[in-house]
Structures are given as C-alpha cells and as structure tokens.
Amino acid sequence: MKERRVVVTGMGAISPLGLSVPELWQGIVEARSGVGPLTLFDPTGFDTRFAAEVKGFDPANFMDRKEARRTDRFVQLAVAASNEALHHSGLKITEANRDEIGVFIASGIGGIGTLSEQLDVLRARGPGRISPFLIPSMITNLAAGQVSIVSGARGPSYCLTSACASSAHAIGEAAETIRRGWAKAVIVGGSEASITPIGIAGFNAMRALSTNNDQMATASRPFDATRDGFVMGEGAASLILEDAEEAMNRGATILAEVVGYASTSDAYHISNLSEDGEGVARAIRLALKRAEITPDQVDYINAHATSTPAGDPVESLAIKQVFGGRETAPPISASKSQFGHLLGAAGAIETVVGVLAMQHNLLPATINLTSPDPACDLDYVPNIPRPGQINVVLSNSFGFGGHNVCLVLKRFVA
C-alpha cells in the first residue's frame, strides 16, 4: 500500500507580533520585537517585569462571549488560531467528513491563570465560591476539546504535553495519524497563556527568565554572549494537516509537506539539555532519515534557541554534529528573539514561521545578536532577514525533562 503523504493546507496564529498569520509574517519581515513591559498584571517586586504579550486580543471576536467568560485565555487563543487556520485552508467540516477530522492542540501548562484566580477565591471566600468552570477551563486538553466543539470535528482528539516540545510532538503525531489512515485531516497546534504572577515567579525561581529590565525589547538574544535567560511569551498557532491526495482532490492550496518527525529523550536532567548534544543530534538524524533527506539538502533550521546560557551552545553543538561547521551547516534562526518563548505553543508557531520562510524564500533573522558567543559559531542570520532559496526546513523543539523533537518540512511537489 502506498504511504500517505501529509501536507499543510492552512495556518493560524495569535502572537506577540499580531493577531493573524499575515501580521506575524510582517513582524518577521520587519525583524520587530514583540517584547515589552508587563501589562497583564502589576509586576512590582518581580525579578522580571517584561514579557512578550498578545496585544488587542478580544475572545468575543472568535467565540461566543458567554463561552469566552467560562474559558481560560489559553483556550481562547487556541480557538482563534484554529479558526484562522481552517478559514485559510478552505476545509469545510460537514456531516460527511467530520468523523475523519481530528484535533490535536497541545499545551505545556494549560489554564494556570484560571487556577491562580480560583486559588485566590478559595483563600478569600471559601470552597463554596469556587467556579464550576474551574476544572473544565484549566485542564490542558480543553483547548482541543473547545476547538472540536467549535469546529464540529469528531475524529481523533487529544492534548499532548511535553513542556516546550508539546506542539512539535502534536504536529508529528498528527502527521503519523494521517499516514496510518486514522484521519484524513487534523487541526493541530499549541496554545499557552502563562504570563501570570505564578508563572513569572516560578520561572524566576528557577533563574530561567531574563531579568534584563533595562533592555526589555532586546532581552531575548539567542546565541548572544550576553544572554541571561528566556523571555516569556504567549499565544497560539494551528495548522491544518491533510492527506495530500484528499487535499489535491478538493483543490486545496498546499503550503508544504511534512516529511520527517522524530522524538528522543536525553534521560539526563529535569530542565537542562544533555551537555554533549547527543539526544538533540539523534532526533535530527532520525527525522532526516525518515524524511529521506540528507543533511546537505536542508536549507534552513528554525532553532529552539531560547536565549538561556546553557541551552543555546548545546543546540549549536548538536547541529554541528549533524551538519558540520559554519561552511556546511545551513542558515539558522531563533524566532524566540522576536516573540519570546511560547512554551508548549513554541513548536507550532515556529513551524508556521518555517512554512512562511519557505513560501517567501526569506530567511528570518535572529534579532538582538550583537555580541556573538564563541561557543555559538554558526550562521544565525543576525538581525536582518535575507533572501535564500528554501525547499527544506528543519524545526527543533526541546522540553523540560529531556524531550527532543525534530520536524522536517519541504516544498510540495505533486
């Protein structure tokens, strides 16, 4: 039996660079930073007083206002991004096909905002005043649940949680679900809304966040020698994956093909990458092998690169193990330099950026890279995007606990 091919036919994004995929791409083209002072809560007394927030988002533009009041922000963002992706794809969900369309929406943390608010209610007013919507609003699978309800899709549906690798895992597993013939299409992505007092305080306690409050807009600086931690971001991204034959039969515009996926574990540390880069390099090699792509065929890598002192050199080392040094490795960029770290949604939004880069043959920049780290000595497309023929894109995502995911996408040829 001929193996099913899996293609991308639609994308949606709600991000610190804008409330749609075109706005996201415009921000990438302009090499603009989405980082600024915290406004979602008063950060007085916090070590970090800035983040990459989604601005101007009104959930009532995407879902029933009453329902929006009952759902956490991460669910609202997921519904909005998925609505855009479905519209972009032209895929109509009907009685005839709804049982064959799945929904995989990942989240690393879920409704931490709602949980925090209701804990305050519990302490101040007692257990009798807790909202009955606390649990169905905060649990991580409810983004997938709400997208299923809003869209009408009744195929395979669940949430993957593997910290910051969550939505990359979701994309890989959605593609495999289609290859197995268990679904003809999947709405897949990730959503996160963790810019809350407990979220910022928790990552501050780990010393994971940048505390560069005097240089907020440039605080996310992957591969730079002066980096001091990641910048918290929020948002959601969704993609429509389809069986290629089904997509062509309905006349869909095909944006890219998902050709490779691999997942490995470092089995090393609860929050740090293995210092030898072996787990990351193994994920990259496996994904390329499954894609039947050789390293020299890769035109662009969207790195996980969070701007932490320990993480960026390990990823660079792993890339060199697979691709060689600066002369042979492809151009690399760190999208988190522009919109921060979306945690469980990072893999999805960075996959969207990779597809857009391929569509426009433009290598996104790693902004704020002014003092290169000698340990990070590859081509990171510093500060300014540049033209480049892109036919194969590789996207890396890593999560606390040692989870490594690599996705390979290429330009579709029928």
Q: What is the set of active-site residues?
A: 164, 304, 341
Which of these, 330, 334, 413, lies nearest to 373 by C-alpha position? 334
Half-sphere exposure (Cβ direction) of 373: Cα atoms closer than 13 Å: 22
* Separation of alpha carbons 350 and 383, rounded Å: 17
Contact between 50 and 36 (Cβ < 8 Å): yes
**Angle, nearest 10°, between helix axes 142-151 and 73-89?**
40
How buried is 24 (Cβ within 10 angstroms: 0-12 exposed, 13-18 middle, 19+ buried)? buried
Q: Report phi then psi at 240, rounded to 5.
A: -100, 115
Phi-psi domain of 235 (left: phi exceeds 0; alpha: psi -120 through 50; beta: other)? left
- Give the Cβ contact number of residue 387 at 10 Å: 9
Q: Is the dihedral of CA 362, 367, 370, 376 positive or negative?
A: negative
